[in-house]
Amino acid sequence: MKLSTSHRLHAVARTATVAMLLLSGTALYAADPLTLSEEQQKTLYAIGQSVARSLSVFDLTAAEFEQVRQGLDDAHSGKNSSFDPAVYNAKIQELARERRKIAGEKQVGAGKEFLEKAAKEKGSVKTASGFVYTSLVEGKGASPKADDVVTVNYRGTLVNGKEFDSSYKRGKPLEFKLDNVIKCWTEGVQMMKPGGKARLVCPPNLAYGENGAGEMILPGATLSFEVELISFKSATIEKK
């Protein structure tokens, strides 16, 4: 549930460098596109898609994208640059942080509106800490404590409905110590009982805050989770 922002931004710089190397080195496949098999064409197309996903964090304007395209073209043709692009890795990360922050700020209003709407839904409870809890299926038995180890299935979405994570898709529930995750989960899952299912709408201060997480969760993002509590056990028992 926790991702390193620095590792993610380093990955952006590495992906940009790999793209340059792919284009500047020996051709991956035959030079004549007519000789490429369908699978080879798909592989090359996938490279473009991968690079585009890495560039999406920068939210480039048309003019900025042309500068990036020029860099790709020059690397591909073997043209020497007037400076060493490798020394700009730190600036690439700095720009990524700046653009992510700007993109996140644009979504703050939508997040607040989503949270307020969720709080007005029938059966929803807005907690003192600020997240919205909605019971979808009532469980049975005792509720876990913050220092317990829980096993859950979950699905996480952005306020626009786009899914960013799902244990259901991975085909395996997640087990973790409840106080080792975002605050919204630590508090919200303690309100559940085994066999229960609930929706947690988490404001940024109880989720990933001003750093965000991964490519999709921007700084300041409000998140929605559907969580199914399968079981829990004492962390003390877990250690034995």
Amino acid (1-letter code) at residue 10: H
Q: Which of 114, 131, 225, 232 is catalytic?
A: 225
User: What region, left, alpha or beta, does residue 184 occupy, with left being phi > 0 and alpha being psi -120 to 50 degrees?
Assistant: alpha
Q: How many CA atoms lie within 13 A of 35 on its CB side?
A: 5
Q: Which of 114, 131, 182, 232 is catalytic?
A: 182
From the list 25, 22, 21, the residue with the least C-alpha distance to 85 is: 21
154 is catalytic: yes
Q: Which of 29, 88, 164, 176 is catalytic?
A: 164
Q: How many CA atoms lie within 13 A of 163 on its CB side?
A: 8
Read off the tokens for 114: 């989503």
Q: Which of 58, 148, 165, 232 is catalytic?
A: 165
Q: At what angle do helices 38-55 and 5-24 cross, to 10 degrees?
A: 140
168 is catalytic: no
230 is catalytic: no
73 is catalytic: no
From the list 110, 58, 96, the residue with the least C-alpha distance to 220 is: 110
Q: Which of 58, 114, 133, 208 is catalytic?
A: 208
Are residues 234 and 148 in contact, defined by beta-carbon separation less than 8 angstroms?
yes
Amino acid (1-letter code) at residue 195: G
164 is catalytic: yes
Q: Which of 92, 154, 217, 232 is catalytic?
A: 154
From the list 200, 25, 210, the residue with the least C-alpha distance to 100 is: 210
237 is catalytic: no
Q: Which residues are catalytic?
A: 154, 164-165, 182, 208, 225
